[in-house]
Chain A
Amino acid sequence: MDRVRIMVVDDDRRMRRLLARFLFREGYEVEEAPDGSVAAEVLAARPMDVVLTDVRMPGMDGLELMESIRDHSPETAVILMTAFGTEDSRAEALEEGADGYLSKPFQIEDVVTIIRRLLERRRERA
């Protein structure tokens, strides 16, 4: 079975690197993108299982990216990251169609937990 592919999209390089290293060590195949448009390009070429993206980014932001993913590869799970979101913004994010939601700052372990849960759910559906 292929390794689970995860794309990390964040304009903050350190954040992006941190998540990528962490997920890689967890055994996932990780791609990185600094913004939505780069990510969309990569995704068009090669779909991912999970996209972990920041909402606010220059150029194409996280929500737009999510829309584009829904259009091209609805199978891909999208987890939104926002800065200090409230419960309201969490609800908003899920309403927009996100599969998961993280409010910065979060514990990196939580990322793993969410991804695992998403993958399990997908496997159950399949």
Chain B
Amino acid sequence: MRIATRLILLLLTIVMTLMGAYAVMTLARTQARVEDELMKKADHIGLALAVGTLHHLEDGDDAGVQDVVDRISHHDDVLGAAVFAPGGRLVAVGGDLSWPRGPHTQVYKADELGYLDPDEGGPAFLCAIRDESGALQGSLRMELREMSVLPYVLPERNRILIVIVALTAVIAASVYWITRRLIARPLGVLSSGAEAVGRGELGHRITLDDCGEISDLAESFNRMAENLEVSNRECVEERERIRRVVDGMPEGVVVLGKDGRVSYWNRAMETRFGMRFEEAVGRPLTAALPCAEDRGIQGACQQLAEGRKTNFRIEDVRLRLAPDRTVTISGTVLPDPDSIVREVVMVLSDTTERRAAELAVRESELRLRTVMDSVLEGIITIDANGTVRSINSAAQKMFGYAEPEIVGQNVRVLMPEPHASRHDTYVGSYLKTGEKRIIGVGRQVEGRRRDGSTFPMDLSVSEFAMESERMFTGTFRDITEKLDMEQQLQRSQQLALVGELAAGIAHEIGTPLNVISGTAEYLLTECGPSDSRADDLEGIREEVGRITGLVKRLMEFSRREDPRDDVVQLDSVLDSVLLLLGRQLEKASVEVKVAVEEALPPVRGDRDEIQQVLLNLVMNAWQVMPRGGQLDIRAGCEEAADGYQAVLRVADTGPGIPEEDIERLFEPFYTTKPPGEGTGLGLSIVRRIVDRHGGRITAQNRTGRGAVFELRIPAIDREA
């Protein structure tokens, strides 16, 4: 129901209620006045009747009573009247009375005029008839014609009714006009305005003049609409901005509505993955993005939507629309506490390039790893805390740790005490002071194997920075063998020295000793058996014998007693010799060239002795080239009369050998070096060793410059 109608009805109800109340009150007042009139009349008539009948009643003159009653009954206002004796007997009656004519038991007092209601036997007036002493002489009943008072009452009632009707009409009309003018029309305007705003015409404004509060309301409405327009504009702009941001993202963004259909699809999805926004929106995920059937993407989205999961991430997805790309899809939900089903946001990032880069990094890592693992040197990388970051396989072998056992551990486990407990301090003090103790220098240090044993190593450390993190790389080599060899070299040099000394002594003292002992022996033969000098001479001989024994032992000591019988590969011996002398040769700027035939056969013999031979040859070559030169070493296999031979040639670019010396070169104590420098034994020992191996060694000058030594040792018969 329209509000105006409702208002009018409400107002009419109120007005009519008020009018009705007013009418009721007015009628009640009129009724009271009519009754008043009637009472007054009844009083008059009753008094006249009582006075007229009193003395007839006292006299018992019923006819007189009847006469008076009849006269009264003719009065216009009187309908009828009756008089009763005090005992209730009807004395006289006149006019037209309505009650049954029987004995009247009602007792009346003369001075009281009572009104009897119809349900009590009325309507009638009752009155007692008393004499002057107050004694009851009778009573009367009188019925008046009401009509007789109507002329007073009716006009008033009509007037009231007319007023009511007129007022009602006026009020209704004015209320209608007022509501129409002040409420309904402005409300209509407001309502259509609200409708317009509701339709989205946020620019709609209402003009309502002179409508009181509704004008204010209209103004408020306009302000509201204005605010709404502003905030809507902001909202739209914000949304546009966000859309631009999302559209500008290189990642594809897909929003799934609660119905599981695509509700948003950003520009990247269009450009990169080939489906237009308009085509995608509103379609189910699998239709818009066919790859969603693969790899459980659809299922993951469903789990997200149903709240069984909060996010997911699936890598290396290949889209059917762009099969050459690999994509990482991550999904998350838009939180919505009011709903069981939630919206899902999927972000598709194109990881093709990153994957390729990662692959390249992995490949280069692998390559590096392969290189690191193929070198003979151990390589360990640590960070500034001393934590091992990488270890190559050579280092793993040296230390006896597998990679996973050591990576992440502090590098101190690879050191013996006291360095292990001090290592942190070493690194710390370097990081603080920058004072280099080992970096870039290289040192001989000890390493500690997993089983607790230690070994010597040459360590060089370099520093590098990786993403602002300082790292250290240690490169090292187990030099146990090298040290052993150095020691061996030293020992053999010492032995050679001792031998040389012994040989020298022996050579020099042989004849004098012989003279002494021989003389004593000679004299002894001339002594008679009782000659007391014989004992002394015997003493001399014996003492000389002791000296002789001593010198012999010395010589034996300098010579290796029990040559071993190994299978020896000349090139490996050569390697260790060059390893041993490499640094010195480098220092002396001797350039070493080595060419070894693949088919170099092994020989049988004492590896240490053969090593001594090669050492000697290389050292001699080096010594004849004090200002540097070229050392050319070739090893190969040649066929000789009695089978194959391993042949090794060592050529130098020194001054060469004087022709007259070549023949005697291998003789003991023969030296081309200045006095005091050579022992003259080196090459003789070489020859002795070579002889013992059934080989040959020769020397000759090269055409042009330098000398070449040729070593031949019979090869082991491979078929044997």
Contacts and interface: CB of A to CB of B under 8 A. Distances in A.
Partners in one complex: yes
B203 interface: no
Interface string A79-99: 000111010100000000000
Contacts of B518: 15, 18-19, 22, 105, 107-108
A12 B511 contact: yes
Interface in A16-35: 18-19, 21-22, 25
A83 B510 contact: yes
Instruction: Categorize the interface residue count of chain B.
Output: 20 to 34
Interface stretch (B269-277, B548-556, B642-650): B548-556
Contacts of A124: none
- Count chain A CB atoms within 10 A of each CB in B513, B515, B517 and give the residue with the most: B515
A84 B504 CA distance: 10
A29 B519 CA distance: 20
A107 B548 contact: no
Interface residues of A, number: 23
B513 A104 contact: yes
Contacts of B503: 84
Interface in B332-365: none
Contact of A104 (B510, B519, B522, B525): B510
Contacts of A22: 518, 522
Nearest to B555: A84
A15 B522 contact: no
A106 B514 contact: yes
A58 B403 CA distance: 71
A108 B521 CA distance: 7
Given A105-B514, A105-B544, A83 B506 contact: yes
A109 interface: yes
Contact of B548 (A14, A88, A105): A105
Nearest to B511: A12
Contacts of B587: none
A104 B521 contact: no
A108 B507 CA distance: 19
Given A84-B503, A84-B552, A84-B555, A105 B510 contact: yes
A107 B521 contact: yes
A86 B511 contact: no
- Count chain B CB atoms within 10 A of each CB in A14, A25, A83, A107 and give the residue with the most: A83
Nearest to B526: A25
Interface string A105-118: 11111000000000
- Count chain B CB atoms within 10 A of each CB in A15, A84, A103, A108 and give the residue with the most: A84
A25 to B, nearest CB: 8
Given A22-B522, A108-B521, A108-B522, A15 B514 contact: yes
A107 B516 CA distance: 11
B555 A12 contact: no
Contacts of A82: 510
Contact of B551 (A21, A25, A84, A86): A84
A25 B544 CA distance: 23
Contacts of B513: 104-105
A12 B512 CA distance: 9
Contacts of B508: 83
Contact of B506 (A12, A14, A84, A107): A84
Contacts of B522: 18, 21-22, 108
B507 A83 contact: yes
Nearest to A102: B514
Contacts of A86: 555
A116 to B, nearest CB: 16
A110 B551 CA distance: 20
A10 B555 CA distance: 24
20 contacts: A12-B512, A14-B515, A14-B519, A15-B511, A15-B518, A18-B515, A18-B518, A22-B522, A25-B525, A83-B507, A83-B511, A84-B551, A84-B552, A103-B510, A104-B514, A105-B511, A105-B544, A107-B521, A108-B518, A109-B521
Interface of B: 503, 506-508, 510-515, 517-519, 521-522, 525, 544, 548, 551-552, 555, 688
